[in-house]
Structure 1
Amino acid sequence: MDDRVAPLLNGLRITFSQIRGFVTVASTNSFRQAAEALNLSQPALTSRIQQLEEGLELRLFDRNTRTVELTDAGRELLPVFMRIVNDLEGAVINARDHAARAGGMIRVACLPSCAASVLPEIIRRFRADRPEATFVVEDAMDEQVRARVRSGDVDFGICVRHDGDADLDSEDLFQDDLLVVFRPRHPLSEVERITVRTLARYPLILTCRNSSARAAVDRAFAANGLSVTPACEVTYTLTAAALAGAGLGVAVLPSTSPEVRSVHLVARQVDDPGFARHIVLIRRRSVPMRRIAAAFIESIRVHGDSVRSSRPAVSE
């Protein structure tokens, strides 16, 4: 804003509708045309301009029966008021556009394996019916998923079932078995029934300790009176599968991990109830769910099982 004009406007009680009326009259040089453009009666527009002039203690127009001309003060204020009108109207348009996009945006925090295997097909089906929907999928470790839901940064989360989450509503989705993965011709290929004690005889490739899969493995070994010391500990399931493929050991991966379907690896189930994760959908308790997010949750309920069952099976 012009340094000479800013002090003039400071503390004055003038409204945007008055400023917009002034700019429209100045642009059309006609109270009648400006009133039509603003969908106002001419007396109503005239009253707005008079109120603006009174508030500024300045005469902005020289009027006669035929013409409307800006005074020197009006010409001084016109570029400033035009910027105010353009900036505010542009900001409103941008805000409305952002709100429209945000209204159709669904934010999900999800375990990486589920984000890579279960969600894509459900999202595809949902967007076929709701093309306005957009998604932000934050793949994260179990505790991070819960933290994102609690903070309100996402609409809901998909993670492992926990007891004692009093501030979260939890809905069971499915059981995600933990599979052992190794390269062909590994000795485990000849074992009819793989147990925890069977696994204890081989070098293991496990995900890091803060992962839900690792926590389940540690609990299963402890329940059998065993401890586990991995030959390799990794962050990502892709790395674990690559190490197993190189013959460095037996990887333990969730059945939802895309890597267990690799044609270069063999995946087998473990005969132990502890080798599983219970996958749940969580959301903040007593917080209303936006309609489009609620609709997507319903799509997960309807299509989740069929999407999982349509994926290639692994060896028993």
Structure 2
Amino acid sequence: MQIDFLGMQAFLAIAEQGGFQQAAAYLNLSQTAVSHRIRKLEDSLGVTLLARTTRDVTLTDAGRALLPRVRAAMREFELSYDTLRQHSRNAPRWLAFACLPTLASHRIAPALRRFGRIYPEIALRVFDNSIQEIAELVQAGTTDFGISVAASNRQGLAVEQFAQEPFVLVCPAVHRLARLRSVSWDQLSDEALVRISLPAGNSSTIDDALGERRLRLRWAYEAQHTALALNFVREGLGLTVVPCLSVAATEGLAIRPLMQPAVARKLAVVTRRGAALSEPAQILRELVVEELCTGLPGDAPASPRKQ
């Protein structure tokens, strides 16, 4: 059932102010508008609420029965409205952005800490999602921007590439390859490998870069997430290949550059095309990008390039 709020407001104003003219002045409306609201309310209820004469307006029995309920309902609404208004003043101000899980889990905390010192009154909401989900969140305006890969381009989004993130080998610290400064793909031909089939498309990036050479690799296991693949490596099940920012040096694991060929994915900032970031969002974007670039090898960052 629809509640005729405007009609009840007009009815209460007439009853409390003493007439149509006074109610119209109180509500800053014309008398015609007030009369229209009352007629609509009476029609919806199927009763007459006001008895009109040329000299005054009185409440009918139905009007007198309705008045205390309308008065209580309006007071309750005013109280709720004031409570919500006070909450909006005191509630924390939120800023949201999206980031690939492999980047969010290890690399962005220092940037968020620096942002908090600049804007202590702003709370941050981080969506650690896949490429497709990041694009959808940015396009819908749920997040101000996203940190993704350049492949996330789609209609309505601006994609600004800011770095190349190389893939690296992760192996047990006691493995023979851990003694090398870098490893070639050919040196992996006899190793059991853990493939990560992520929505981010890392496996496709590797296959495209290796071409026919990929057929000489033995992918003995497949995991959906980096954390599980790294656990397999710790347990000695095999070696894995991941983007370098997705893994932190930990006891028992060695991280080595992969060469011949070097394989990398292109990191990018994703925003809605034509949408300007607020000053806090712009500063957060710069801090996150700076932090991610700091964790890359010296020759990895690329010049920002918009698509």
- In structure 1, runs of 5+ residues without a counterpart are 61-68
1:230 aligns to what SS in structure 2? Answer: strand
For 2:183, the equivalent position in structure 1 comes to: 194
Shift of residue 156, structure 1, vs aligned partner: 2.1
For 1:232, the equivalent position in structure 2 comes to: 221
Shift of residue 231, structure 1, vs aligned partner: 1.3
Map 1:19-30 to 2 at 5 A.
19=11, 21=13, 25=16
Among candidates 230, 240, 245, match of residue 234 of structure 2: 245
Q: Does 1:213 align with 2:198?
A: no
* Cα shift readout 1:175-211 (whole Å, capped 9, x = no counterpart): 2222211112101023343111122331111211533
The one-letter code of the counterpart of 2:146 is: G
Q: Does 1:117 align with 2:102?
A: no
The one-letter code of the counterpart of 2:117 is: A
- Distance (whole Å) between structure 2 residues aligned to residue 163 and residue 44 of structure 1: 53
Q: CA RMSD in A?
A: 4.5
For 2:255, the equivalent position in structure 1 comes to: 267
Among candidates 143, 147, 169, match of residue 154 of structure 1: 143
Q: TM-score, normalised by structure 2?
A: 0.72
- Distance (whole Å) between structure 1 residues aligned to residue 92 and residue 66 of structure 2: 39
For 1:282, the equivalent position in structure 2 comes to: 270
1:123 aligns to what SS in structure 2? Answer: helix
Shift of residue 152, structure 1, vs aligned partner: 3.8
Report the more deviating stretch, 109-118 or 129-138: 129-138
Tell me the number of residue pairs that the alignment of Structure 1 and Structure 2 aligns. 286
Percentage identity across aligned positions? Answer: 23
CA distance 1:18–1:213, change in 2 (3 Å): same
Map 1:3-42 to 2 at 5 A.
15=7, 17-19=9-11, 21=13, 25=16
1:231 aligns to what SS in structure 2? Answer: strand
Among candidates 290, 294, 306, match of residue 309 of structure 1: 294
Shift of residue 102, structure 1, vs aligned partner: 9.5
Structure (1 or 2) with the greater strand fraction = 2
- Distance (whole Å) between structure 2 residues aligned to residue 101 and residue 117 of structure 1: 32
The one-letter code of the counterpart of 2:178 is: S
Shift of residue 95, structure 1, vs aligned partner: 6.2
> Higher RCO, 1 or 2 (CA under 8 Å, sep at least 6)?
2
- Distance (whole Å) between structure 1 residues aligned to residue 197 and residue 216 of structure 2: 15
The one-letter code of the counterpart of 1:174 is: A
- In structure 2, runs of 5+ residues without a counterpart are 43-47, 52-57, 299-307
Preserved CA contact (<8 Å) 2:49 2:61: no
